[in-house]
Amino acid sequence: MLMGNSGTAGTAARRRFEPAAFGLALATFVVWTIAVTTGWAGRTVDTWWPDVELDPRSYFSQVLEAFALITNPFFIMVATAVMALQAYRRRHRHLAAALAIGAAGLPVWALVWKLIDRSRPETAFADSIAAAGPAYPSGQMVSVTILVWVTVTIANAQRRTLSERITRRLLGGLLVLSAALAQLLMQTSHLSDIVGGWLFGVMVGAAALWISGIDSISKAWAARKAPTGPTRKAAVIYNPTKIDDLETFRRRVAFTMASTGWASPIWLETREDDPGFEMARTAQEKQVDRVLVAGGDGTVRAVCAEMSGSEIPVAIIPAGTGNLLGRNLGIPLDEDEALELALVGTPRSVDVVHWTTDAGKDSFVVMAGVGLDAQIMRDTNETLKKMVKGGAYVLAGLQQLGSEQFQATVTVDGRVVHEGDALMTLVGNVGKLQGGIALLPSASAADGRLHVLVATNEGVSGLKRLGNALRRGGPMPFVRRARGKKVTVEIDREVPFQLDGDTEGTTTSFTAEVEAGALRVVAPRPSGQNES
C-alpha cells in the first residue's frame, strides 16, 4: 500500500485486528460447539424457547417453507461464487477473493454439519427442506449470515452512499432475525443450533476480510486524512466498452479521489473514431494535475502518445484485456490498488517510441512490429477476447501456422543486424507479454533503448519451437536480438503492422526512434532506481 505514515499505521492496526477478530469468532464457535455436543446447551439454552404448534398447511407456514428454500445453503453458495467471478472479471480482486472465501465456507460448514450429526427437534415440518439433514450448526443461519455479509461487503466495495450502506445493514439484521425466528416457529432447529450457525457465519466473514484484505483497503481510505493545501484536479479518460459496470466504476473513482484530497474528476469518454487523443489534449487544456486512463492498450497508447513531453503524469487503471504497459510497469491489476497508486503514487519517467511507416507517424509505449504478431492481433476475435481473455490470442496464433516469410533488412543505429528471411520483426520499449512471457527479457521502459527481435520461420515445427521457447524462456537460435536508439526496417512487400497490440495497417518499411524519459507515469519504482 502506498500511504502516508498515519494511513500505514492505521492499516497495520486493522491488519492486527482482523486475525484477532477471526480468532475470537473461531474460539467462540468452538466453545459453543463443545457446549452443544456435551449436552449443556440442550439442558439450558434450548429450553428458553417454548414449543409452538403451527399447521404446516397454513398460508403462514407455506411462507416460512418458501423462505427456507430461498435461503438454502446450496443456493447461497452458488450465488456467492457467481458474484466472486463477476468481481474478478471487473478487476475487483480483493472483493473476488473475499466472496470466494465466503462461498468456500459453506462446504466447510457441511463437513462440520456431518461430523457433529446432531438430531433435529421433533417438528411438524419434518418433510420440509428446512429439516433436511443434521441440526448443528444451522445451515440456514450460516447461509443467511454469509448472504448479509456479502451484500454489506459489496455495498462497501461499490462505494455506496452512507444511507444505502446503513439500509443494507438494517435489512441484513432483519433478515438474520427473520431466519432465526422462522426456524424456531417451525421447530426445525434448536436455539443453540441457530446461535451456532450465526457464529459460524460470522467466523467465515471474519476469515474472508482477513485473508482477502478488502476491509483493510476500505477502512484505510476512510481513515486517510485528505492532504492540506490547494485541491488537485484529475481527468479520467475512459473507454466505456472496456468497463463492465460504468456506474460503479465512476462511483469508486469519485469516492477514492474525494478520500485523497482530489476535486471531483473531469470525465472524458473516448469515441469509436478517437481512442483518446483529443481527450488527452482536453485534459492538458484544463491544466489538470494528473490524467487517469482506463481502457484497452489502444486507449493507453493514444493517451500516452498525446501526453508525451508533458509534465502531467499519466496513471493507468487496468481495464482492457492486455493491459501490457501496466503489467510491465508493475501496476496492480486490482482496481482498488491501482486507484490508490494512481492518486497517491509518485510519477517516474519512461521512454516513448516514435514510429514512422508508409502510412504516417505515430508513437507507442509497449511494442510494435510487422509480420506474425500483427497478423495474430488482426485475426483475434474481439468477442472471444472478452470471453477467454488471452486464450483468444492463442487461437489466433494457431491460424498463423505456416505463415509466409518476408525479406527484411534491419538496421540498428546505422548497423545492419539482419538481412534475409523473417517471420516477424518486433521493436519493444518493454519486454513482457501476457502470461509473463519475457519476449524481450532485457527491455526496460526507462533505459533509453529500443529492443529488437527478428524471428525466422522453419516451417510448422519451427513456429512451434518459437512458441515453446517464448513460453518457457528457453534458447532461441532462430531469433536475433539487438538494441539501440533508432531502428530502420525495409521489407520486400507489404505486411501488417501493429502498435501496442492494435493492427494499424500494412507497410513496406518503418523507422522507430526512442525519446528517453518523455512520459511521466505513476508506477511502482523499481528497487534501486532514483526518483526522476
pLDDT tens digit sequence for 358-372: 888 999 999 888 887
Beta-bridge mates of residue 452: 427, 482
| 167-171, 247-251, 461-465: least confidently modelled range | 461-465
User: Measured between alpha carbons, how far is 388 from 353 in angstroms, rounded to an integer?
Assistant: 30
**pLDDT, position 358:** 83
Pairing of strands 290-295, 234-238: parallel
C-alpha cell at 205: 466473514
Task: For residues 44-58, give the mean pLDDT.
Answer: 84
Provide the CA 112 distance to its chain's centre, in angstroms: 33
- pTM recorded for the entire structure: 0.70
Hey, where are the domains in the chain? 5-221, 226-346, 360-522
| 29-33, 211-215, 403-407, 519-523: least confidently modelled range | 211-215
Closest CA to 397 of 455, 337, 315, 325: 455
- Residue pair 61/215 in contact by the 8 Å Cβ criterion: no
CA quadruple 264, 266, 271, 277: dihedral positive or negative? negative
The residue among 400 and 307 whose pLDDT is bigger is: 307
User: Measured between alpha carbons, how far is 403 from 456 in angstroms, rounded to an integer?
Assistant: 11
Element (H, E) at 496: strand 486-499
Burial 414-436 (b: 16+ CB within 10 A, else e): eeebbeeebbbbbbbbbbbbbee
Is pLDDT of 216 > 50?
no
Coil, strand, or helix at residue 57? coil
**pLDDT, position 360:** 87
Query: What topology is assigned to 360-522 in CATH?
Result: Tumour Suppressor Smad4 (2.60.200)
- Beta-carbon contacts of 13 under 8 Å, excluding residues fewer than 6 positions away, are none
User: Measured between alpha carbons, how far is 295 from 270 in angstroms, rounded to an integer?
Assistant: 9
**pLDDT, position 122:** 87
Is pLDDT of 155 > 50?
yes
Quick: pLDDT tens for 397-435.
444 555 678 899 999 999 999 999 888 888 989 887 765
Amino acid at 488: T
User: Measured between alpha carbons, how far is 366 from 351 in angstroms, rounded to an integer?
Assistant: 10
Closest CA to 157 of 282, 235, 249: 249
Task: For residues 181-186, give the mean pLDDT.
Answer: 86
The residue among 99 and 383 whose pLDDT is bigger is: 99
| 194-203, 410-419, 459-468, 472-481: least confidently modelled range | 459-468
C-alpha cell at 473: 524462456
CATH class, 226-346 region? alpha beta
**pLDDT, position 382:** 53
Bond prior to 137 in cis (omega within 30° of 0): yes
**pLDDT, position 288:** 95
Is pLDDT of 223 > 50?
no
- Residue pair 280/302 in contact by the 8 Å Cβ criterion: yes
**pLDDT, position 164:** 75
User: pLDDT band for position 135 (50/70/90)?
Assistant: confident
Which of 61-70, 114-123, 244-253, 286-295 shows the highest mean pLDDT?
Answer: 286-295
Share above pLDDT 70 across residues of the chain, in percent, rounded to a whole number: 80
Quick: pLDDT tens for 335-344.
888 888 999 8
Is pLDDT of 5 > 50?
no
- Beta-carbon contacts of 322 under 8 Å, excluding residues fewer than 6 positions away, are 296, 297, 434, 501
Amino acid at 8: T
Angle among Cα 243, 249, 250 to the nearest 5 degrees reads: 120
Task: For residues 491-517, give the mean pLDDT.
Answer: 88
